[in-house]
Structure 1
Amino acid sequence: MINRRTLMTTSLATLTLLGAGCSAPGRTGGEDPGSMLLADGYEPDSLNPLLGYARTGAAKFYDGLMAFDGNGTLLPALAAEPPRSTPDAKSWTVRLRRDVTFHDGTPFDADDVVATYRAAIDPAYASTISSDYAMLAGVTAIDAHTVRFDLNMSYAPWPAKMVLGIVPGEKLADPAPLTDSELNTQPVGTGPYRLVEWRQGEQMIWEGNPDHWGGAPDIDTITVVFATDDNTRAQRVKAGEFDGTVLPPLLSERLGVDGYRTVHHRTADHRSITLPSRHPITGDPAIRTALNHAANREGMIRGLLGGHGKPAHTPIPESMGHYHEPTARFDFDPERARRILDEAGWRPASDGIRHRDGRRARFTLMYFADDSLRKQLARAFASDAANVGVEVHLAGVDRTAAAERIGTDAIVLGDGNPLDPDLQMYSTLHSSAIGTGTYNNPARYRNAEVDAALDGGRQAIDEAERARFYKRAQQAYVADPGLVYLAFTDHSYVMRTDVWSGYEPVVEPHTHGTTWGPWWNVEDWTPKR
C-alpha cells in the first residue's frame, strides 16, 4: 500500500551504503468513522521523547528524522531524503523538510534537531536515553535545513537512531533536568496527532494535526482508555465499547466478536530470565547453562502463547535474517542439565533440590504483578528448573520494587528492537552497558568475546562483515550464557474491521499497545463508508 510514509523508501542497508464468534452491541464509541476508541493496558509515565517516550518510533505526537515502515525499512520523515555518510560512517549529513510546523505553530528547522540531540547527550538535562546516544560526539546546523551528526566512532546503524522524536528547541532552552519539563505531560511535536486531554489513570484524547506535512489524518479523534486488567479489556471489547485493544494471545483467540478480527504480529520482543552474575546461585556458569537446557521453550510457546511466538536462545530472532545464527541454541535436554549440575558438584538432597558447599540451589525470580503472561512464563520456568533440582521462588512486584532489586534478583525481562542487531544486543549484553540504565544489562553480564564481537558489529561498515560479527557474538554467548532467553512473543490484538481500511501487518519492537499494533499507521487509515 502506497501512503504518505512510502514517499522515499530506503532500506537500512542502502542508507549505510550512501555514506470471530458471538455478536456484539453497536459501536458505543460513536458511529462517526472520524473517531476511534481504543483500550490500552499500559499508560506511559511521560510523553517526553528525551525521557524514553516512543524510543523505537511510532510516536503519534512527534516525528523523527526517520520513520519505521513496519517491515525493517527506514523512511525519511522530517528528513527530506535519506541521510548521507562519510565512507567511514563517522559523519552523517541530513537535509530537512521545509514548511513543517510544530503543534504550537512555530516552524521546524535545523536548530530544533540540534537542540533535541544535544539534550539527549548533555548531562545537564539528565536524559534517560543518553546511553543510547553514547556514540554521538556532536550535532551541527549547517544551515536552516541541513544538520550534520559527528560520531566518536564508525557506526553503520546510525540512521536507526534517527527515529527520536524532535521537539522545539525553545522547550530545551534551559539546560536543566527534564523531570520537570512541560513536555512530559504537554507534548509539542510535529506528529500527525496532538494531545488535547490526558486524565492520568483514565484516558488520553488525540486530535488530528490539520497541518501535518503528510496531510491531516482522516481519523481525527482517537480516545485511548487505560485499563490494566486483560480480562476487563476483553469483556469491554466484547460488549462493543472499544474499537480495539491489546490482549494476551490465548485470551485474544477466545474472544470471538463479530465485526472484529484477532491479529498476531511478529516481533523482535523477547521474554527472558535474567541470571544476576553477583548472585551466588545464578552467578554460577553451571547453573546458567543447565537452566538453559532445562527450559522447555516449545512447551511454553504452545501452552502459554497458543503457538504465537518463536523459541529464543539469543537476542537475535530469525526475522533478522542473515544476522541470525541458527546453531547458537540450547536443546531442551533436562538430562543434560542434570549432568552439568552433577559435574559441577551440585548434588540433590532428599527433597530433590540441589546443594553445594552447604548452599541450596535457590533464587528469587521477579515478574511484574500486572503482567499475566510474565507471571505464567515465570511459573513455567520455575517448574522446569525444579525438574532439574533448582528451586525458584516467584515474586510478583511492581516496577519500582523491580528496579531496586534488579541487580541481585532475577526478573522476567522483555525487550527488543527490529531495526538493527546493535539495538537488539548491545545494551543487554555488553559489559559497558552495566549501570547506564535500570534495564541495561540487568544481569551484569560480562564476556570479553561477546564484547569484542558486539563492538566489531556496530563499527563495521560492510554488511557481510557485520553479520559475521553478530553471529560470532551469538556463538560466544551460548558458550557462556547470562540469561535464559525463552521466546520471541507475537503481539496479539483485537481490532474492529468494519469501519476503516488501512491495516498493514508490522514487525514490532518490545513496545506495543495503541501506538503500535494495528494502529502503528492509523494516521493513514480511511473510512470504509
Structure 2
Amino acid sequence: MSKLASLAAAALTALALPASGRPLTYSWPTNVGPLNPHLYAPNQMFAQASVYEPLVTYRPDGSVGPWLATAWTVSDDGRIYEFSLRPGVTFSDGAPFDAAAVKANFDAILANRPRHAWLDLARQIARTEVVGPLTFRLVLKEPHEPTLKELSLPRPFRFVSPAAMGEGGTTAGGIRAPVGTGPWRLVETRLGVSDTFAVNPTYWGGTPAFERLVVKVIPDPNTRAIALQTGEVDLVYGAAGQIPSEAFLRLRDQAPAFSAAVSAPLATRVLALNSARFPTDDRAVRLAINRAVDKDTLVRTVLDGIEPRADFLFAPTVPYADIGLTPHGFDRAAAERLLAEAGWVRGSDGVRAKAGRPLSVELAFVGTNAQQKAIAEVIQADLARVGIAVRLVGEEESAILARQKDGRFGLIFGETWGPPYDPASFVSAMRTPSHADYQAQSGLPDKPAIDATIAAALAAPDPGERRRLYAHLLSTLHEAAVYLPISHAVAIEVHRSTIAGVGFGATLNEIPFAAMRPAGIGAGR
C-alpha cells in the first residue's frame, strides 16, 4: 500500500461504526435541490458533497490526498495526470466505479464547458482517456498548477452513476436520480419541509453511525436556534450566520447541554464596489468608503467578536497572499479629504454631490439574512457621516445572485470561497461575468491586464514566478479599492450533548456527518 493510500485508510477509521436507528437531524434554509453533481444552484454544496465523491480530497493542512483515486502521476511538462482508481468501489445503484465511469462524467461536465468557465481547469482540459479498467488519464492544454485542488471541489468534478445520467447527459438531460459513491443517499424530499438521506449500504469507506440524516428546512436563523434548543435539530453547523451570534454565545455557555466551537478563519467577508457604475466608478469614492467604515466597532457590535476584522481580500495565511500590503484603515477625516479633493461637495442635507449628481449608492444584500442586514445598516450609518447616502436593497437570494451577474449594484455582499478555492479558483472566476468580482472590476482601465496576470499565475510552473504574479494582482486590486474587506468568515458548530464526533472539515462546504455518532458510542468501535 502506498503512503497516500495509507493516509486515506487512516482518515476513514472514524466511519467504521455500528449504525444507530435514530436519525441525525440538521437544518438548512432551503431544500437541498435535485443534487445534480455537475450543476449549481439550487443544488446545495454540503449535500452534493455528502452524496458524490472526488478523485482526490483536500486536507486540513492544505495538501491533497487520495480518495477515489489511490495514486497519481504528473508528467514533466505538467500537462498529463494519470490516476489509479480505488478498486472495489460501486455506486449506490450497484454500478461499478471505474475508468469508464470517470470518463463518462468528465465528458458530461465538458459538454457544458461554458457553464464551468469560472473554473480554469474546465477550460484547460484537452481530452480524457481510459487507459485501463482502473486507470484514467487527464490531458491538459497547458500546465495548470491548481489542478488537483480543483478536482477536490464539491462541484463539478464529482461522479454520478452513468446509469443515472439523463438521455442528453447531466446538463441537457439532468439526472434520473442522485446516485453517487458517497456515504449517503437522498431518499426523500418534502418541499419546504425536509430532505432525508439514508446510509449507502455499499459505501466503500465504512458505515456511518447514523442510519439517516434528516435536513430540516428552517429559513430563519432565530427559528433555527430555537429548534436546536428544543431538540428539533441536533446541531447547527456552517457559516456564522446560521444562527444569530448572540444565540451562539448563549448556547456556548450552556455546557454540558450544548457544545460549541468556532473554526479558524476560512474566507473573507467583503463588499464588492462596482467600478463600472456611478458613483463608485470614482476611485476616490471607493477609497473613501474603505476609510470611512469603522470595522472594529462593526465586528464587536454586530458579529460579537466571533469573526476577526479583515483588511485585505485574502488573509495573510492564504497561499501567496502575505505580501506586505498596507491596510487602508479607518480614518473618517481622511475619507472626508479624499471626497473633497475629488470635487464632492456637501449639500444642505449632508449628502455630497458633484456636477449636480448626489453621492448616493445602492447596497444590495440578502433580505432574509439578518447578519447582512445588520452589517449593511452599520455601513449605511458610517458612510452617511462622510456625506455618502446609502440605499439599502434587501432581496431574496436569487435576485441578489442575478445582480452579481449583471452588475446592478453599487455595493454588494460577497465572500471569498475559502480553502481549497483561495486563491487560485477564486481569482480565476474573476474573469467571467457570472460573479460580482468581474462586475466590480469591469470599469477598471487595466481589467484586461488583470485578467492576463490571473491567466499567467494559474499556468506558472515556477513557485517564485507564481508568487510574483499573485503579488502584482493583489496589489493592483488593493490599490483600486474595488473591495471593502469586513471580516474573516468562520464556521461555527453547536450541537446537543446527545451527539459526539462533531468537528470541522477542511472546507466550509463539506460537513463531516459520517464522522458524527450518538454520544456513548466510541469512535474506535
TM-score by length of 1: 0.85
**Inter-CA distance 55–205: structure 2 relative to 1 (3 Å threshold):** closer
Residue 254 in 1 paired to residue 250 in 2? yes
1:35 Cα offset (Å): 2.6
Distance 1:4 1:88 in 2: 25
Aligned amino acid, residue 165 of structure 1: R
| Alignment partner, residue 332 of structure 1 | 330
- Name the counterpart of 2:39: 51
Match of 2:450 in 1: 450
Is 1:198 the equivalent of 2:185?
A: no
Task: Point out where structure 1 has 5 or more consecutive residues left out of the alignment.
Answer: 11-30
One-letter amino acid of the counterpart of residue 50, structure 1:
H
Cα distance in 1 between the residues matched to 2:61 and 2:502: 14
Task: Give the structure 2 partner of residue 89 of structure 1.
Answer: 78
Distance in 2 separating the partners of 1:161 and 1:249: 32
CA distance in 1 between counterparts of 2:142 and 2:326 reads 29
| Structure 2 residue aligned with 1:39 | 27
In the alignment, which residue of structure 1 is the partner of 2:496?
496
Deviation at residue 217 of structure 1 after TM alignment: 1.2
| Residue 114 of structure 2 corresponds to residue 114 of structure 1 | no
Q: Could you tell me which of 52, 55, 73 is aligned with 1:62?
A: 52
Runs (4+) off by over 4 Å: 31-34, 53-58
1:175 Cα deviation after fit = 3.2
The one-letter amino acid paired with 1:380 is V
* Contact in 1 for aligned 2:166/2:173 (Cα 8 Å): no
**Aligned mates of 1:381, 1:402 — CA distance in 2:** 18
Decide whether aligned partners of structure 1 residues 179 and 267 sit closer, same or farther in structure 2, where only a CA change above 3 A counts.
Answer: farther
Pick the aligned partner of 2:214 from 220, 223, 238: 223
Greater shift after overlay, 160-169 or 41-50? 41-50
Residues 368-387 of structure 1 aligned to structure 2 (within 5 Å): 368-387=366-385
Q: Which residue of 1 aligns with 2:235?
A: 244
**Does the 8 Å CA contact 2:58/2:506 hold for their aligned counterparts?**
no
Write the deviation string for residues 482-526 of structure 1: whole angstroms up to 9, x where unpaired. Answer: 2222122222221124442x33334534x4xxxx4xxx2221334
Any idea what the Cα deviations from partners look like across 1:112-132, whole Å, max 9, x if unmatched? Answer: 211222222224xx7743432
Counterpart for residue 167 of structure 2:
174
Aligned-partner residue type, residue 309 of structure 1: E
> For residues 239 and 263 of structure 1, what CA distance do their matches in structure 2 show?
20
CA distance in 1, matches of 2:322, 2:148: 21
Shift of 1:165: 1.8
Partner of 2:146: 157
Alignment of 1:295-374 (within 5 A): 295-320=293-318, 322-374=320-372
Deviations 1:363-406 (A, max 9, x none): 11111111111111111221222122111100110123224433
Shift of 1:420: 4.7
Q: Distance in 2 between matches of 1:92 and 1:77?
A: 15
Q: Which residue of 1 aligns with 2:15?
A: none
Distance (Å, rounded) in 1 between the aligned partners of 2:490 and 2:127: 38
- SS of equivalent to 1:345: coil
CA offsets per residue over residues 276-310 of structure 1, 9 Å max, x none? 23212111111111111222222222122221223
More divergent stretch after superposition (362-371 vs 39-48): 39-48
Q: Does 1:478 align with 2:471?
A: no
Counterpart-to-counterpart distance in 1, 2:33 and 2:172: 11
The aligned counterpart of 1:25 is: none
Q: Deviations over 1:114-158 (max 9, x none)?
A: 1222222224xx774343222222222212211121222211110
- In 2: Cα distance, 1:310 partner to 1:351 partner: 35
For 1:450, give the aligned amino acid: I
- The residue matched to 2:69 in structure 1 has which SS? coil
* Cα gap change, 1:59 to 1:4, in 2 (>3 Å): farther
| 2:168 aligned partner, one-letter code | P
**What runs of 5+ residues in structure 2 fail to find an aligned partner?**
12-18, 237-241
Q: Which amino acid counterpart does residue 363 of structure 1 have in structure 2?
A: V
Letter paired with 1:416? W
Letter in structure 1 aligned against 2:216: V
Identify which of 163, 170, 180 aligns with 1:189.
Answer: 180
Give the superposition deviation at 1:458: 1.2
